[in-house]
A and B are shown apart, each in its own frame.
Chain A
């Protein structure tokens, strides 16, 4: 099955700085790579996703990049705000693969 690794496990940034979270996956058959945000005590919610036929996708302050050759993908958050503080999960799957999640990154944005 798929194996997803996520780094770093914790990340602290000053408000206004950028944050980058990286993930690698093992199965080249995976073709769908979503990112979920889980605020304290709440359910995970999708914030952005990317499919294997594109290399980059942006949505306001959030962007994802995908390198299929190297089997890694990253989440970039620019101009961070305190409300960005949460746990972020990457995932990989699609096709015959179930959706497997990384272990999460706890992001703290310091005002």
Chain B
């Protein structure tokens, strides 16, 4: 497709369950980011993938969060043993430029609700 695609668009889960969120970046974009946006809040950096380099995981809030990017394209964000405070919109973005100095193209986001 022409833009960044995220799935699912909405996910409701029970506390303690694991969830997986998927991101398909724009073809050819080497940089991929995950951000979290809580209700009425800003964009909280989670993790950054750049080409084949080791990802920057410094924004992940706890060891329940992990992400991988297979083949330099699709990325999956996994949240284990979900908690109510994990409820938020998880936004993925990709960029074709290295070094965090290019335009980010965001997906529509995955809205996670933990009951």
CB-based contact B42/A94 at 8 Å: no
The secondary-structure label for the interface of chain B is loop
Judge whether B100 and A93 touch: CB under 8 Å. yes
Interface positions of A (Cβ within 8 A of B):
1, 6, 31-32, 34, 36, 43-46, 49, 51, 89, 91, 93-95, 97-104
Contact string against A for B residues 39-56, beta-carbon threshold 8 Å, 1 for contact and 0 otherwise: 001111100100000001
The contact of A94 among B41, B45, B99, by CB within 8 Å, is B99
Q: Output the least CB separation between B49 and chain A (Å).
A: 11
| B100 contacts A89, C-beta separation under 8 Å | no
Q: Is B104 on the interface with A (CB-CB < 8 A)?
A: yes
Give the interface residue-count category, chain B.
20 to 34
A73 to chain B, nearest CB (A): 15
A44 / chain B contacts, CB cutoff of 8 Å:
43, 91, 104, 106
CB neighbours of A31 from chain B (8 A): 101
Q: Provide the bound-state CA to CA distance between A101 and B33, in Å.
A: 13
Instruction: Find out whether the CB atom of A32 lies under 8 angstroms from the CB atom of B100.
Output: yes
B56 touches A98 (CB 8 A): yes
- Is B42 in contact with A93, judged by CB distance below 8 angstroms? no
A43 and B109 contact, CB distance less than 8 A:
yes
Closest Cβ of chain A: how far from B55's Cβ, in Å?
A: 11
Query: B65 on the interface (CB 8 Å rule)?
Result: no
CA distance A1 to B59 in the complex (A): 10
Q: How far is the CA of A73 from the CA of B115 in the complex (A)?
A: 40
How many Å lie between the Cα of A95 and that of B44 in the bound state? Answer: 19
- Whether the pair A100, B91 counts as a contact (CB closer than 8 A) is no
List the A side residues contacting B44 at CB < 8 Å. 101
Smallest CB gap from A33: residue in B: B101
**Interface residue B108 (Cβ < 8 Å from any Cβ of A):** yes
Q: Are B100 and A1 in contact (CB under 8 A)?
A: no
* Contact across chains for A34 and B58 when beta carbons are under 8 A apart: no
Whether the pair B42, A104 counts as a contact (CB closer than 8 A) is yes
Alpha-carbon distance A100/B31, docked complex (angstroms): 15
Tell whether, in the assembled complex, residue B42 and residue A103 are in contact, meaning their CB atoms are under 8 Å apart.
yes
B43 CB contacts on chain A under 8 angstroms: 44, 89, 91, 101, 104
> By CB atoms of chain B within 10 A, which of A44, A89, A91, A103 has the most?
A44
